[in-house]
Amino acid sequence: MKHVLKSAGVAAIGMAALGLAGAASAETMTVVSWGGAYAKSQIEAYHKPWSKKTGDTLNSEDYNGGLAEIRAQVEAKNVTWDLVDVELSDAVRGCDEGILEKLPVTELSKGDDGTAAVDDFLPGTIHECAVATIVFSTVYAYDKSKFKEGPKTIADFFDTKKFPGKRGMRKVPKVNLEFALFADGVPAAKIYETLGTPEGVARAFKKLDTIKKDTVWWEAGAQPPQLLADGQVVMTTAYNGRLFDAIVNEKKPFEIVWDGQVWDIDLWAIPKGAKNKDRAWEFIKFSTDTQRLADQANWISYGPARKSSFPKIPEAIQPHMPTAPGNFKNALQNNFEFWADYGDELNERFNAWLAG
């Protein structure tokens, strides 16, 4: 989903409401997300309006995903995070482990058009312990100044003869294995079936072997556009919203290749034992209403989780969304059940492969 280096620290968001809430009712909450352009979109669309309405101070922290830090806080009975932006596989696994709070999702507001939340949210975006905000995808992009004719397919990403130069990839198996099978000719409908076999996993790693020596590994979502801008790589996988920010707002000479995109959702979750659990839930309800989700799309090209939000997005921005028809021709939805079941095993194998 996303994201600046964790060491970027904490940014305090929030001023006392202009008479909208008394000081006694104001709270301070720590909201954890992925940094960079993505966190900025949340701060502008969610945090600032919430602080203006309530007087709350929201401390925005960055992390690199996963459940390790949440688990450590819960097990130590010292939960300092109130709200965390998580990927779907982590939302499901964290709920199963009991390290995320169960949420009263029936309280989510209706859409602006009166549609009940259960029907207004896209299928599969409301869960027992988490509520989705955005649809994002992992794609790859290249520096147009480096090629007379740029790559067009996911297979081109792995073709270092036709397109020489360093590649950037996230330092995890998720999406990399899917991309590898895509590039090796496996159709989208068969990728997880293939990856569910030892032969399929071996096939994916064999394909990754072909670019291993040419790969620069990134961990935080803000890094890929910077790697491209600095000339450290000629193409890189990245979150589509980060690329949108670099291309549209920073005028970088990058081109997105949508072929083979792997799309996913990000969700709000509350760590078990969070000190401001009730307030965090009120914030979730606020930030996932029709208008707030539409507002976020003004800052980054991630699609809103509510159907009623899309018509409120400016027409000029809509083609940059992962779900725009022209971008969605050869796309794969991340199988969260697969990664919830096999994530640990494949992470271990991936780390061993990296070290080998």
Please check whether residues 313 and 215 belong to one and the same domain.
no
Domain holding 218, by residue range, is 137-263+325-355
Which band of pLDDT confidence, cut at 50, 70 and 90, is reported for residue 1? very low
CA distance 61 to 208: 33
Let me know whether 286 and 330 are in one domain.
no
Give the residue with greater pLDDT, 274 vs 325.
274
340 occurs within a structural domain: yes
* Residue 225: C-alpha distances to residues 32, 119, 218, 245, 348 (Å): 22, 36, 11, 9, 27
DSSP β-bridge partners for residue 58: 13, 29
> How confident is the model over 229-248, as a mean pLDDT?
94
Domain co-membership, 252 together with 309 = no
- Whether 104 and 231 share a structural domain: no
Q: 84 and 36 in one domain?
A: yes
Q: Residues 39, 347, 158, CA angle at the centre, nearest 5°?
A: 80
- Tokens in use for 206? 């064999």
Q: Are 302 and 314 part of one and the same domain?
A: yes
Considering the domain boundaries, does residue 1 fall inside one?
A: no
Summarize the confidence of residues 83-92 as an average pLDDT: 94
Average pLDDT over residues 289-294: 97
- Rounded Cα distance, 317 and 295, in Å: 12
Token digits of residue 306: 């509510």
CB 72 within 8 A of CB 271: no
In this structure, the answer to whether residues 40 and 177 fall within a common structural domain is: no
Is it the case that residue 8 has pLDDT exceeding 70?
Answer: no
Residue 11 has pLDDT above 70, yes or no: no
Q: Give the pLDDT mean for 212-223.
A: 96
Q: Is residue 102 included in any domain, yes or no?
A: yes
Q: Are 191 and 181 in contact (CB under 8 A)?
A: yes
How many domains in the chain?
2
Is residue 193 over pLDDT 80? yes
**DSSP helix, strand, coil percent of the chain (3-state; round to 5):** 45, 20, 35
Shared domain check, 350 and 235: yes
Higher pLDDT, 322 or 18: 322
Q: Is the pLDDT of residue 6 over 70?
A: no
> Would you list the DSSP string of 114-125?
S--HHHHBPTT-
Span 128-148, pLDDT tens digits: 999 999 989 999 999 999 999
Q: What is the mean pLDDT of the chain?
A: 91
Window from 15-29, 109-123, 217-231, 339-353 with minimum mean pLDDT: 15-29
**pLDDT on residue 2:** 44
Q: Spell out the residues 6+ positions from residue 133 whose beta carbon is closer than 8 angstroms to its own.
A: 42, 85, 265, 266, 267, 268, 287, 288, 293, 296, 304, 305
Q: Which comes out higher in pLDDT, residue 89 or 119?
A: 119
pLDDT of the residue at 324? 79
CB 8 within 8 A of CB 40: no
C-alpha count within 13 angstroms, C-beta hemisphere, residue 247: 18
pLDDT over threshold 90, residue 52: yes
> Exposed, middle or buried: residue 19 (CB in 10 Å: 0-12, 13-18, 19+)?
exposed
- Asked if the structure places residue 171 within a domain, the reply is yes
The mean-pLDDT minimum among 26-35, 269-278, 308-317 falls in: 308-317
Q: Residue 325: its pLDDT value, please?
A: 78
What is the pTM (predicted TM-score) of this model?
A: 0.73
Residue 318, pLDDT score: 84
SS3 string, 128-174, reads CCEEEEEEEEEEEEEEHHHCCCCCCCHHHHCCCCCCCCCEEEECCCC
**Same domain flag for 36 and 53:** yes
Same domain assignment for residues 123 and 222: no
